[in-house]
Structure 1
Amino acid sequence: MKRKDIFYKTKKNIIIISVTIVFLCLFIFTVITKTLYSSRLFNDVDRQILQQKDMLERISPNSINSNEGNILDEKGPSKSPRIPPNIIVIVYERGNIDFISPNAYFNITSLPDLAKIEKNKISVIEHNGYTFRCTSFDNKQYNMQVFINVNSELKSMKQLTNAIVISLIVLIIIAIILSAYLASRIIKPVREAYNKQVFFVQDASHEMRTPLAVIKGKLELLANSWGDTIDTHFEHISKMMSEVRSLEKLNSDLLLLSKEDVDSSINITEVNLNDFIEDLSDFYEDLADMQDKKFYVNKTKDNIKLQWDYNKIRRATIILIENAFKYTSSKGEITLTFEDINKSILIRVKDNGIGIKDEDKNRIFDRFFRSSDVRGKNINGSGIGLSLLKSICKTLEIGIKVGSQYGKGTEFILNVPKVMK
């Protein structure tokens, strides 16, 4: 059965919202661009019309088509104004055509409708398939009209509109692709966190199932032996106590891990490295004697003062030492080494225990992960320690390196800054 993607709807909503925002931004940009371009384009045309209107209002109407100062006659007086070739002027005298400047659009038999042209205002009319911007005004007994054909400007606007539409389509397609990619990137850490939570619950349930099953079985046995004394079932009670302690240890580790994940505060104090080493080593030297193992401690020559979070560094080091003891058999060796390297202290914990398989190295920091080999040897543990170590190292910005060869041993190296911030 195909697993349903619970994040599909969220991813879809992210894409829709992202594309909608991009579309609105592009649409607003398009409207502003087109409006400004159109305004600039036709403002220049209107300015020419009004300039020509002002010029015609300043001259005598009789000079428009007189032999003395024909404004279209190149041989006329230099003081007579000339009409630019892109401007069309039509002059009516008492309703009759008196003058039409040379053009390709109007003639005596084909004139624009006077009713469509407002006096002293810019008007837009269409005539024989052409579009004009124009104005009309009176000068004594004359009515004058000034026209400019704007088909080229309209064509330019159409080309701009087509270019904008094509650009919008291309940009929307790109926005959809990028939104899908970004949505996947955004969902990825959420998906990973969700999967970790699912695995966490599954693994925690698995770890608690065994001790609970043991306790339940022993209690059922005791319930069916109500007439017996405690001495008779001391072994069963002892086993239950052992499983309860395992559950308490698991609960304590989970609380520490959750606290480390949520609370990233650091309590910096001055730490004497030699005192720190002695505090750690005393207990484990005695433990090594009890377990018939060898425990070596290599100190630095100088007595170094450090700015550390004492409790967290101690906890991180203890996790590594206890793992080394746990996975090293009797007669084995565990070595704890402190090295002064520039601005850092290297803490090395090395053992000659069972080591880590290559296929398990990428998962050793996962919560509750324990290799099948370790489970098969009935080595106690919850798989929380290295997860807690990783969380501590992330909080304190400590580097971790792991070197291991299966069957020969493991070495963990912590690169701890001398001065933590």
Structure 2
Amino acid sequence: MINKKVFSETKDKLIKINILVVSGFLIIFSLFTYFYFQSITYNSIDTKLKEEYEYISLQINRSSYLNPIVLNDPRDLVYIYDHDRLIYYTKTDYFDNIVPNDTNEKINSCFTYKNGKYTFRELPVTINNLKIRIIRNIDSELSLLRQLLFVIGIGIVFSVIITYFIALYLTKKALLPIENAWYTQAKFIQDASHELRTPITIVSSKLQSLLTVPSNTINDEVETIADAMNETRRLKKMISDLLSLSKEDAITTLNIEKVNISQLVEEIYRDYEDIALMQNKKFTYENNLKNNFINSDKNKLRQLILIFIDNAFKYTNIDEEINILLNEKDDNIICTIRDTGIGIKESDLSHIFDRFFRSDDVRNKDIDGSGIGLSIAKMISINLNCKIKPYSVENEGSKFEIIIPRYID
């Protein structure tokens, strides 16, 4: 049985990896966004301070620095020092009683500092032995940056939660084909074991029965030996089909060549004509092609058509009909194999390509077969880019359309 813990652990790992990857990208993007806007904010403030300096310097050069200085932006503060003595500062209603401490920061370079509960951005410059400090309170800008950081944090949290559910859904979708393949493989092994067990059991019982009567001659046990040989042939056929199926599963290259499909089908038709006569069945072939040539793998195409013709003969009775029809539509060849045999139940039609599937009616009628042929046909059709369309009515017959492209990509 399949260890479900493997899928559970794999799913958890994939979810964690998805969350870590998405969270990592979100954090990197959020940090980039925050520092980008922080840089823009400080650059904007510094530009305003420099503009303020240009505006103030013109006033100082025009008149005495003791005259009231008009500020370009009322939010700015200006402090003028003659050596270490404060000789002028702006008075505002908002910062009337605040006189920031003098700093020893580099002249002509903007910097940020705190004074009490306030945060300032300052540009110190010198003019004519005067030190001018142009200062702006940036608490409002920092408040906006903090709000941006809070919004980014909330966005990351919600994104991680949403990512978890998306990762859970996508992981389930991603693991579904693997899980189905695992279940299919397990079922295939179980079915193969069951199908192989039956002929082996029969052969073993026949051989044991021979050992119980060692004095009997071959003539006495001819029926027993014949049964054992039939089961051996059936076992050999089943193993051959399993090998064919595994080869089609693992195929990586095709022998693409120019194929005369009319000639190919005619050869198959001639091979089965004698069989049809011996079984008293009507076997016909009709070719409506104008262009007989396609590019494909001739041997695999032959094998594909043979599977359906072999099934048509297997599931038809005396005096019933089997027909091969070749038509063309657009860039496709449509090979139709039709019979008037036992047909397929509508409920079974969707399972006919499953490995080892055989309907109860077929098993009850003891019709020889392993249930692998159509699975091989399905794999060949995938490798050749063909499509198979089955149609069937129980007790009226079946029809299979093989849509063959003229050119394989």
TM-score normalised per structure 2: 0.90
1:85-142 deviation digits (Å, cap 9, x = unpaired):
22101234565542221223544x653333x553524343333522111244566675
Q: Which residue of 2 aligns with 1:64?
A: 65
Q: Deviations over 1:312-334 (max 9, x none)?
A: 12111111111111111223221
Tell me which moved more, 6-15 or 129-138.
129-138
* Conserved 8 A contact 1:273-1:303: no
Instruction: Work out the CA distance in 2 between the residues paired with 1:149 and 1:340.
Output: 83
Q: Shift of residue 169 of structure 1?
A: 2.3
Q: Classify 1:350/1:83 alpha carbon distance in 2 versus 1 (closer, same or farther; 3 Å).
A: closer
Aligned pairs for 1:323-362 within 5 A: 323-362=311-350
CA contact (8 A) 2:289 2:327 kept: no
For residues 382 and 265 of structure 2, the distance between their equivalents in structure 1, rounded to whole angstroms, comes to: 22
Percent identity at matched positions? 35
Shift of 1:391: 1.1
Instruction: Map 1:265-276 to 2 at 5 A.
Output: 265-276=253-264
- Range that drifts further, 279-288 or 242-251: 279-288
Give the residue type in structure 2 aligned to 1:131: T
User: 1:61–1:142: 8 Å Cα contact kept in structure 2?
Assistant: no
Match of 1:202 in 2: 190
Counterpart residue number, 2:21: 21
Mapped contact 1:117–1:136 kept (Cα < 8 A):
no
Among 103, 113, 118, the alignment partner of 2:105 is 118
- 2:66 counterpart SS class: coil
Q: Deviations over 1:8-54 (max 9, x none)?
A: 22122112111211111111111111111111211222233345456
CA distance in structure 2 between the partners assigned to 1:281 and 1:218 by the alignment: 39
What runs of 5+ residues in structure 2 fail to find an aligned partner? none
TM-score (norm 1): 0.88
Task: Give the aligned partner of residue 395 of structure 2.
Answer: 407
| Residue 284 in structure 1 maps to residue 285 in structure 2 | no
Q: What does the per-residue CA deviation read over 1:334-388, in whole Å, with 9 as the maximum and x for residues that have no partner?
A: 1222224443332211111111111111110111111122111111111111111
Q: CA deviation at 1:145?
A: 2.6
Q: Take 1:286 and 1:303, find their aligned partners in 2: how far apart are those partners?
A: 28
Matched AA of 2:354: D
Q: Does 1:84 align with 2:73?
A: yes
Are the counterparts in 2 of residues 117 and 125 from structure 1 also a CA contact under 8 Å?
no
SS in 2 for 1:367: coil
Distance, in Å, in 2 between the alignment partners of 1:176 and 1:100 is: 57
What is residue 307 of structure 1 aligned with on the other side?
295
Alpha-carbon distance in 1 for matches of 2:140, 2:190 = 73
Which is worse superposed, 174-183 or 267-276?
Answer: 267-276
Q: 1:368 aligns with which of 351, 356, 372?
A: 356
Residues paired across the two proteins, number: 406
Q: Distance in 2 between matches of 1:261 and 1:395?
A: 9
Q: Distance in 2 between matches of 1:139 and 1:398?
A: 87
